A and B are shown apart, each in its own frame.
Chain A
Amino acid sequence: MSTTKVIIFSLIMTSISAFILAGLFYATAPMAKKGEEVFNKRAILGAVKNYVDDYENLTDDQVLSIFDEIDQIAIDMKGNTLKDIQADKVDLAQERKKPEADRILPFFKYTTGGKSYYILSTRGKGLWDDIWGYIALESDLRTIAGASFDHKGETPGLGAEIKDNESFSANFIGKTIYDLDGTYNPVMVAKGPAKPNTNTVDGISGATITGDGVGDMVVKWLEYYEPYLDKIKSDSKIGMK
């Protein structure tokens, strides 16, 4: 077979392939976008799952409608509100690449039954790849009401337990990020079982590095929110002793 024929064959072949894929991509793009949106919002709601009715069985549309009720604010590192940016559009993976001072933080306020929960976002590094999580604070802005974690590529059965094992995130409930006098003293992940009556949660045996990663990211990112939390406190006198 001559070279010309080979070239013509490959041109026709790749054009057909490109045409099919481009068409399908544009046809499915809106659905894929919705899928991703629901997936992310469901994860954020995971931090307050104890306060969402029937969280495990929420349909996609329910997730979106609950989220419509949530107040969301994007803030900068100095605690200023950024009006032009939508908090649920902030991509923490990108923010983590920026210098610390330029990072933008999403902030969500979920209100149900007259009580408000403040959801803070965190992102860090596990053993193999990125890990991230959402921490919900009670309205006193110091007690943790719930947490949810996820990861990109931690080992199943070990590091991946931060997501798969409900009890890991459940242990964060009731821990605090500030001492009573207002000193920043966030919850830590212990190596092995947590000592009783300390502000620590159980580590995962066999996943010390992932556990440390969770601890580091929580400590680092919750502190980012401090200027903004201080503003809320001084506005409403919450938690002021």
Chain B
Amino acid sequence: MADTATATPQVKEPLFGKKERRLITDPLNDNNPITVQVLGICSALAVTTQIVPSFVMAIAVIFVCAFSNLTTSIIRNHIPKQIRMIVQLVIIATLVTVVELVLKAFNYPIYKQLSVFIGLIITNCIIMGRLEAFALANKPWRSFLDGIGNGLGYGAILLLVAAIRELTGKGALVGIPIFPQSFYDAGYFNNNLMVLPASALLVIGVLIWIQRAWNPKLVDVS
């Protein structure tokens, strides 16, 4: 994050240099907002019973995260310090309402299904976290990429958790039944626990465990 501060006489920054690519790829693994920073857990628990709503939620968060980062970064030198956070909230709330209105107009059933959770994107800690930690100190294009990266990192975990929960809890993926009837006749049961929010916490916990076992960079050496 500090690397842009070294403002040497600006040569044209590449549009997709190594640093820019890292802005997208870092949040997918090494710096994932859910499994590493442990932010945005609340919505990850609530909407991940099925893949389709999780997917819509992920798109919404990517959009809000990217454009709130972009907007904040563009006006970052004009935002009065005293009301910095309020300004950020206005930007986020505006974008979230845009998402809500668009979704309501174009896909009413999904809007109904996600109901209150779209509005709650406003309180998603990932978004405000990125504004504070990145957009206030970086140029618009890089902030935009950072927003997309973090949105993707959030969305990837959301979809993974949703896939696991829908498969084990409802025996389906994207609403299509996976297990043949003969499984159920033979005594297989859908696990009702997986549909309840508590199970999302278990799944995310296990994902964090697996990720840490597999990625040595994340192991605390304290």
Contacts and interface: CB of A to CB of B under 8 A. Distances in A.
Interface string A1-25: 1000110011001100100110011
Contacts of A113: none
A155 interface: yes
B49 A32 contact: no
A44 to B, nearest CB: 15
A1 B80 contact: yes
Interface string B141-180: 0000000000000000000000000000100000000000
B139 to A, nearest CB: 21
A24 B96 CA distance: 12
A157 B195 contact: yes
Contact of A157 (B83, B105, B196): B196
Interface in A155-188: 155-158
B192 interface: yes
Contacts of B78: 9
Given A1-B80, A157-B169, A21 B97 contact: yes
Interface stretch (B29-37, B107-115, B129-137, B205-213): B107-115
A158 B192 contact: yes
Nearest to B195: A157
A92 interface: no
Contacts of B80: 1, 5-6, 9
A24 B100 CA distance: 11
B158 to A, nearest CB: 16
Contacts of B107: 35
9 contacts: A9-B78, A10-B87, A17-B94, A20-B98, A21-B98, A29-B105, A31-B105, A32-B108, A36-B108
Given A9-B80, A17-B91, 10 more contacts: A9-B78, A13-B87, A20-B94, A20-B98, A21-B98, A35-B104, A35-B107, A39-B112, A155-B196, A157-B192
Interface of B: 49, 78-83, 86-87, 90-91, 93-94, 97-98, 101-102, 104-109, 111-112, 169, 192, 195-196
